[in-house]
Each structure stands twice: as C-alpha cells, then as structure tokens.
Amino acid sequence: MKLFFRRKSTEKLRLESYIRNLVKVIVIPLVLVIFFIAGIFFLYSQRYNSILKNVTTASEFNQNFKSDINLKMYYYVIESRYSIGLPAEDVKNAAEIAQSLLKTTTKKDSVTAITSVLNLCATLEDKMNQIALTDNYNEKQTQLENNIYVLTDLIQVYMYNYLYSEAARLNELQSTLTFQLELVFFGILLMVIVLLLILLSWSRRVSRRITEPIEALSRRVEVISSGDLTEQPAIEAGEIEVQALSNGVEQMVTHLNELIAKNKNEEIHRRNAELALLRAQINPHFLYNTLDTIIWLIETGDLEKSVQMVNSLSNFFRFSMNRGKDVITLEEEKKHILSYLEIQQIRYRDVMDYQIDIPGELGRYCLPKLTLQPLVENAIYHGIKLKRGKGKIEVTGRQEGDCIILTVSDNGAGMPTERLAELRRALRDDRVLGFGLRAIHKRLQLMFGDDYGIVDIFSTQGDGTQINVKIPKWLPGIEEEAS
C-alpha cells in the first residue's frame, strides 16, 4: 500500500481517479465479504431446506400406519363385514414417501433407515398377497401374526429412526452455521479496522495533496480580487482539475490585462472619433457659408429668414457642444438635425426639401450625440447636390421589439453597385472607408455592442440612398448608471 501511495504521489491524476481508487479500496473487500457471506448462507440454506423438506415429507407418513394396516388386515383375515379388502394403497403411499426421501437424503444413517422402510414396504405387500392366496383360516392367522404385525412394527420403527436422524442433523447444521457466522463476524470486524487504518492514512495524504494547492490558489485569487493583476507562474498541483483551475486563473489574468489594454485603445479610438466628428461639425466652410448667407439675407432685407438662420445656427452649435455630454436623448438629436436642415434648406431652398418623422414616445431614449447629423450631411453633399432638380431627405424612427430603427434616406444621386458593396464590406470587416460612416458605426458598437450600429445601406444609382441605424431603448438613468 505504501508503494501504491508513493508511486501515485509523483503523478498528476484526476480527482475522479482518487475517488475511484477510494471506492475500490472500500467496495472490493466489502463485495468479497458480501459474496462470501452470501455463499455461506446459500450453501447452508440449500442443505437446511433439503433436510427440512425431508423431515416435512417424513412427517406426512401416517403415524397410525401400523395400527391401521394391522386392523385392516385383521378384518380381511376374519372376513369381517368391516373389511374393505387388502390395504395395498396404504402400503403403496408409504413406499412412495420413502422413495422420495431416498432421493434427497445424504446422511448414511438416514439412508439406511429409509432404504429399510422401502424394502419392508415391498415385503409387506408380498406378505399381504400371500395371505390373499391362502385359504386356510388358521394359516392366515399365523401369517398375520408372524408376518404382517412384525413388518408394520419394523416399518414404523425405521421411520421414527429416520426422523430422529434428520432432526439431529438439523440441530448439528444450525450449530455449525452459528459458529461459522461468529467467525465471519469477527473476520469482518478485523477487516473493517484494517480498512479504516488504510483510509485514515490515505485521506491524510490525499487531503494534503489537494488542499495545499487549493489554499495557494485561494490566496492567489484574493490577490487578484484586490486589484493586483501581475502575472505569476501557475501553481503546481497533483490533480489535473486543480492544475487546470490554476492555469485558467493565470490565463484569465493575462486575458484581463489584454482586455484592459484593448479597452484603453478602444476608448482612445472612440474619443478620437468623437473629436473628429465634432471638428467636422465645426467646419469653417460650413460656418463661413452660413454667415455669408445670413449677410446676403440681411442685405436683401429678408430679416425674418436671417433671424431664423441665426437662431438655427445657434441651436446647431449648442446641440453640438451639449455641455460636454457624450450621450443625448433622441429628442435632442432630432432638434440638432432640424437646426442643421433649416440652415441648409435656406441655403439650398430650390434644391432640397426634408421631412423628420420620429415619434415623440421615442424621444426619451439615449444615443451618442452626432449620430444622425453626419448621415444627413452625407445625404445632402453626396446625394441631393449631385441630383438634377429638387431632392428630399427623410429622417424616420420606429420601434422594433426592444430596439429602435432610425433611417436617413434621400432620393439623390445614389451610388454604383460596386461602391455599395465596398461600403457594406468596410462596415462588416471594420475597414477604413468613408470616415463618417465608420466612425458612427464604431461608436455605436463600442457603446451598445456588435448587434447595433449601421445595420444596412441600400442605394440605387439615380434613385437615392437609405441608411438604417439600430440602437437599443436606452434610458438616461441607465446611461448615467453605466457611466
């Protein structure tokens, strides 16, 4: 057993192997003992049942066999009106009982007794037939006294001897079984004591082998939970599961460090994207053109439109800055693009018309600022301005389960099939193509997950473009809690 433990201590095993070995140490001896006890009980049960059956069968022998046969033969000899003939059937029944006992009897004395009964029954039957063939009354009386009475007496004596012999054998068998059961009990007790000593010794070894690396792993996890993500070598353990757990913890630390670095990079990219978008909105050309338009309106005396344009420009920049907040409500984004479209419609009054249809109940949900306005700007400069005649921009919103689908569409110049496929691949593969679209898509995915962002682009050259944006129903309270 020592060699077994020493050999195993140098190997890495599964906890299942320890449990299986433990079961073997306990179960195999117990199973052997159970089979041994069951074998003893089965053997003695077979012998006991056989003897008991013999005694029971012998008990079926008519205890009044002698008196019944003697009386019936006496009536037969004196030719009494009570006579029913020779009692051959009684003798035959006794012989059948003796014959069945002879098949299952093994003890020598019992075999001798039952064989004698069987032979005497045959002789008795012969003597009864001899009387039946005798005509002289005196000779019949002589045969009755010298043969019949003697044979029935012997048959009964031998049957009693058989019963006594089998009963004594039952008592002997019971005493033997009791003695052997006592030996088995003390043997089991001794084996249990030995097994307990073995299990105690093994349990100490196993517990040290398992608990020591687990305690070290627990201390390691406490260090990690305190915020120390310094990478360390994995703890050496004898069990495959504990070793795998330690390796997994260290791999988790490595992945955490990688994720932290990745999140930092993504946050930098997101801030850069937001800054670039913000700079794009404070476009000097847009500002100069707008101011020139205001001056021109004032010079032409159209003070109402000039005031409207100044108000829209003020609102546009106020919503762009939004007091430094990164997230605004959909209602605020709607006002932002409305201010932008009001300015552009005054500038391109003969070229552009617009329609905004975002239900009021969706206005309380949040999204990153500058999500829709760049799409509207793309629709104007890459769609409407390149179209001959007056174009229209539509901005719509609808609920779809727990999400909101925002759509910016125009009936402008559209784009070729190759360019559309290129844009779709760029969004899907996260490649740089069209800074505005990619920045919007990336910001939405960083904030909400990969299921959100620009979900599709539809465009036909000469018929316009449609861009669908998917965001969750995200309330301001949730946004503040996440921040």
453 SS3 class? strand
Q: How far apart are the first and last CA of the chain?
A: 62
Q: Taking 70 as the threshold, does the pLDDT of residue 22 lie above it? A: no
48/192 same-domain check = yes
Cβ atoms of residues 414 and 459 within 8 Å: yes
**Amino acid 80: pLDDT:** 84
**Amino acid 483: pLDDT:** 41
Q: What percent of the chain has pLDDT over 90?
A: 11
**Amino acid 410: pLDDT:** 93
Nearest CA to 337 among 397, 293, 390, 276? 397
314/264 same-domain check = no
> How do 352-357 and 391-400 pair as beta strands?
parallel
416/460 same-domain check = yes
**Amino acid 480: pLDDT:** 46
Q: Does residue 116 form part of some domain?
A: yes
322/352 same-domain check = yes
Confidence label for 469 from pLDDT (cuts 50, 70 and 90): very high
Q: Does residue 219 form part of some domain?
A: no
> How many Cβ atoms sit within 10 Å of the Cβ of residue 469?
22
Pick from 171, 205, 239: which residue ends a domain? 205
Lowest mean pLDDT among 192-201, 235-244, 377-386, 463-472: 235-244
Taking the C-alpha atoms of residue 407 and residue 286, their distance in angstroms, rounded to an integer, is 24
Q: What is the mean pLDDT of residues 32-55?
A: 72
**217 against 4, higher pLDDT:** 217
Highest mean pLDDT of the ranges 16-30, 138-152, 155-169: 138-152
Pick from 274, 304, 331: which residue ends a domain? 274
142/244 same-domain check = no
> How do 327-329 and 464-472 pair as beta strands?
unpaired
**Amino acid 2: pLDDT:** 40
Confidence label for 90 from pLDDT (cuts 50, 70 and 90): confident
Show Cβ contacts of residue 253 under 8 Å, excluding neighbours closer than 6 positions. Answer: 224, 229, 230, 231, 232
443 SS3 class? helix
Q: What is the mean pLDDT of residues 88-117?
A: 85
**184 against 382, higher pLDDT:** 382
469 SS3 class? strand
Query: Phi and psi dihedrals of 230, rounded to 5?
Result: -65, 130
pLDDT averaged over every residue in the chain: 79
Confidence label for 268 from pLDDT (cuts 50, 70 and 90): low
Lowest mean pLDDT among 127-136, 315-324, 452-461: 315-324
Among all chains, which residue has been given the structure tokens 């978008």?
Answer: 277
Taking the C-alpha atoms of residue 48 and residue 50, their distance in angstroms, rounded to an integer, is 5
**Amino acid 58: pLDDT:** 67
DSSP assignment letter at 234:
P
DSSP assignment letter at 380:
I
**Amino acid 5: pLDDT:** 41
Confidence label for 306 from pLDDT (cuts 50, 70 and 90): confident
Q: Taking 90 as the threshold, does the pLDDT of residue 471 lie above it? A: yes
41/59 same-domain check = yes
Counting the structural domains of the chain, the total is 3
Q: Does residue 217 form part of some domain?
A: no
Q: What is the mean pLDDT of residues 307-322?
A: 74
pTM above 0.75, yes or no: no
Torsion sign (Cα): 477, 478, 480, 481: positive
Q: Does residue 160 form part of some domain?
A: yes
Cβ atoms of residues 162 and 114 within 8 Å: yes
327/472 same-domain check = yes
251/297 same-domain check = no
**Amino acid 85: pLDDT:** 84
pLDDT in tens, 421-455: 888 888 777 665 554 687 788 888 888 888 899 98
264/199 same-domain check = no
216: left (phi over 0), alpha (psi -120 to 50) or beta: alpha
200/322 same-domain check = no
Cβ atoms of residues 40 and 180 within 8 Å: yes
Q: Taking 90 as the threshold, does the pLDDT of residue 408 lie above it? A: yes
Q: Does residue 216 form part of some domain?
A: no
Pick from 254, 274, 294: which residue ends a domain? 274
254/345 same-domain check = no
Cβ atoms of residues 358 and 330 within 8 Å: yes
User: What is the span of the domain harbouring residue 243?
Assistant: 229-274
Q: What is the mean pLDDT of residues 247-259?
A: 80
Q: Does residue 290 form part of some domain?
A: yes
Lowest mean pLDDT among 97-111, 219-233, 292-306, 313-327: 313-327
165/268 same-domain check = no
- Between vectors from CA 51 to CA 49 and to CA 52, what angle results, nearest 5°? 60
Highest mean pLDDT of the ranges 22-31, 225-234, 256-265, 354-363: 354-363
Q: What is the mean pLDDT of residues 335-352?
A: 84
**Amino acid 62: pLDDT:** 60
Q: Does residue 220 form part of some domain?
A: no
Taking the C-alpha atoms of residue 231 and residue 254, their distance in angstroms, rounded to an integer, is 7
Taking the C-alpha atoms of residue 483 and residue 474, their distance in angstroms, rounded to an integer, is 13
Distance of CA 344 to the CA centre of its chain: 62
400 SS3 class? strand
Nearest CA to 343 among 382, 317, 378? 317
Q: Which helix (H) or strand (E) holds 223?
A: helix 149-225
Q: Does residue 289 form part of some domain?
A: yes
Q: What percent of the chain has pLDDT over 70?
A: 81
> How many Cβ atoms sit within 10 Å of the Cβ of residue 351?
16
Taking the C-alpha atoms of residue 331 and residue 40, their distance in angstroms, rounded to an integer, is 91
Q: Look up the CATH number of the domain holding residue 392.
A: 3.30.565.10
Taking the C-alpha atoms of residue 296 and residue 347, their distance in angstroms, rounded to an integer, is 11
Show Cβ contacts of residue 411 under 8 Å, excluding neighbours closer than 6 positions. Answer: 383, 387, 391, 392, 463, 464
- Concatenated DSSP letters for 279-348? HHHT-HHHHHHHHHHHHHHHHTT-HHHHHHHHHHHHHHHHHHHGGG-SEEEHHHHHHHHHHHHHHHHHHT
Task: Give the CA dihedral 190, 193, 199, 200, nearest 10 degrees.
Answer: -150
**Amino acid 6: pLDDT:** 42
**Amino acid 8: pLDDT:** 44
Taking the C-alpha atoms of residue 75 and residue 82, their distance in angstroms, rounded to an integer, is 6
pLDDT in tens, 320-339: 666 557 788 999 899 889 88
